[in-house]
Structure 1
Amino acid sequence: MGTGIRRAGQSDRAALVRLLEEAFDDDPVSHWIFPDVDHRHRALGLFLGAFTDIALAEGRVDLMEDGTAMALWLQVPSGRPEEEDDTPARMRALADPDNERVELVGRLTGAIHPHDRAHEYLLMIAVSPEHQGRGRGRALIEPVLERCDREGVPAYLEASSTRSRGLYERLGFIFTGTTVDLPGGPHLWPMWREPRGF
């Protein structure tokens, strides 16, 4: 592939959000949250920017040096949080206050997120449309999974399409058995990966 991976920082934020917008413009979940095309083009960047800010502040963003792909990761500790997570409400307030779907998707995914073991959470991955299907997503994920295997740490994600689910299955993720069903919309497939060798 000929391109390296580096850790992104705050100075990369605008480029990260643009890449997310390009990659998720056709995503089924994006279409469900923002069914109107014009409104989606206005609000999607605000919505995805909130995810970017969370990963930059609390996790890690891996970026291909040529800017064509990125992955947002969070380390999730074991145990349920003592307080209710207000992230979905904050994201709605930031991105699209009148759109309850912005908050609902976060509440539904949060309700089924596993808390019994610490794990790496692939919050989101984005590959520019012209580079999709060329192994960039896999190249971003594999180094983290190799580290998970060395350290005995599981990984978790929610696949938003059958295509991405297939990639994650090839990387060792297994569907947990219960979909996240967005009302009148698409499904998300929660997927868990046990570290190999443990």
Structure 2
Amino acid sequence: MKCRHAKDSELDGVCSLLAEEFYNDAIHKLIFSDHAVRMDGLRNLFRIYVNLATRHGGILLDENGAGALVYFCPEAMKMNDEDIASVDHQLRQVCGSNYPAAAVYTNGLDQHHPRTPPHYYISLLAVQRVHRGGTVVGDLLNALNSMLDKDNLPCYAECTRFSTRTLLRRWGYRDAGSPLHIDGFPKLFPIWREPRGITGVN
């Protein structure tokens, strides 16, 4: 099997992979502008969502650990007020003085997120730079798409780069409206995939 769900013992490694690959991402550089704290800040920030995904979705790893995909199931969109308050508290602790920027970004994502129909959500997708251009992205997306098709559910995501939005079209993801604008941040490119039956063939 080319991809599998991460074990609890692998979650620290997943967060490190995400932090390394998003370190120079324009959006995350705005949240943690000080490069001296950015790596640890990102690692701790992503741990919040990785932990959430273990309860409300999953984390897919390719067989060599070179890529990770963090996703949420439809029921994650129905978190109660206590869960939302807990995430906000963790953001404050993790981000410190960078919390205002993180809050603007996360709240902006929430405001733009479609509420219907029920759908999966790709929260994070990262591949080690040396493995980009290979099969890792395809392996991860094919594994997720098989789940989507089995459940007959669509999937939503936001791409931080136009090139990523274009790349994911190969796996059935199409534009989900105009680029998103969150105050103070570069525009995002929302994408959507409709299910294709139970085979998951792309």
TM-score range, shorter chain: 0.7 to 0.9
With normalisation by structure 2, the TM-score equals 0.86
In structure 1, the partner of 2:46 is 48
Q: In the alignment, does 2:95 pair up with 1:96?
A: yes
Give the length in aligned residue pairs. 196
Give structure 2 stretches of 5+ with no counterpart: none
1:38-187 equivalence runs, <5 A: 38-77=36-75, 83=81, 85-86=84-85, 89-99=88-98, 100-187=100-187
Task: Give the aligned residue type for 1:93.
Answer: R
Query: Equivalents in 1 of 2:40, 2:101: separation in Å?
Result: 16
C-alpha separation in 2, matches of 1:144 and 1:10: 19
Q: 1:100-123 CA deviation, whole Å, 9 max, x = no partner?
A: 111221110111111112111111
Give 3-state SS (helix, strand or coil) of 2:96's partner.
coil
Paired residue for 1:7?
A: 5
Residue 83 of structure 1: how far off its partner (Å):
4.2
Which residue of structure 2 aligns with residue 35 of structure 1?
Answer: 33
* CA offset digits 1:46-99 (Å, max 9, x no partner): 111112111123211111221111111110239866649436523422321322
CA positional deviation for 1:135? 2.5
Aligned AA for 2:49? F
- 4-13 vs 82-91, which moves further: 82-91
1:11–1:34: structure 2 CA closer, same or farther, 3 Å change rule? same
1:172-197 deviation per Cα after TM superposition (whole angstroms, max 9, x unaligned): 22222233323333111121111125
Distance 1:78 1:86 in 2: 14
Q: Which runs of 4+ in 1 moved over 6 A?
A: none
Partner-residue secondary structure (3-state), 2:130: helix
Identity of aligned residues (%): 24
CA shift for structure 1 position 171: 1.6
User: Which AA in structure 1 matches 2:180?
Assistant: V
- Measured in 1, the distance between the counterparts of 2:79 and 2:52 equals 17
Q: Indicate the structure with greater helix content.
A: 2
Q: Write the distance in 1 (CA, Å) between the matches of 2:118 and 2:174.
A: 17
Task: Give, in whole Å, the separation in 2 of the partners of 1:116 and 1:66.
Answer: 35
The question of whether the paired residues in 2 share the 8 Å contact of 1:91 and 1:102 is answered with no
In the other structure, the counterpart of 1:16 is 14
Moved more, 84-93 or 154-163: 84-93
Which is worse superposed, 168-177 or 158-167?
A: 168-177
Do 1:17 and 1:45's aligned partners in 2 also have CA atoms closer than 8 Å? Answer: yes
**SS of equivalent residue, structure 2 residue 110:** helix
Alpha carbon RMSD of aligned pairs, Å? 2.3
Secondary structure class of the residue paired with 1:98: helix
Using the size of structure 1 for normalisation, the TM-score is 0.88
Alpha-carbon displacement from aligned partner over 1:139-181 (angstroms, at most 9, x marks no partner): 1011221332243210111111112111222222222223332
Residue 22 of structure 1 and its aligned partner are, at CA, apart by: 1.4
Most deviating of 54-63 and 180-189: 180-189
